[in-house]
Amino acid sequence: MEFIAEYRAEIISNQSVEDDIIERLEENIPAIQYTILNDVHGKGIKTRKMGSAAWPEQNFILYAYVDAEAARKIKAVIEEVKVKFPKEGISLFFTKGVEIE
């Protein structure tokens, strides 16, 4: 069986909701494979997350290469987590895959 990665999903979020996101992704997409970058710093619309004394919080980034069905499930999962944690910065981006011959 050949896996076709139609999309690259990229989730950027506060580390405080990392476990919730991963748990829900794995429940909804048992075969999901992903990579996580921890201790990510940056500035969003509302706050900075720099891991410093002044701005102590940090983000994480999760990357997954998925088909269209899994992309829809990821979108639904992130919408659920945003409802549960409305004040946390949670962003989701998709990039369309490129076909290589």
Give pLDDT < 50 ranges for the chain.
Answer: 1
Q: What is the pLDDT of residue 22?
A: 98
pTM of the model: 0.88
Residue with tokens 């998925």: 66
- What pLDDT was estimated at residue 83? 97
pLDDT digit string (tens) for 39-57?
A: 998 887 778 788 787 777 8
What pLDDT sits at residue 100?
A: 64
Contact 18, 26 (CB under 8 A): no
Q: Which amino acid is at 15?
A: Q
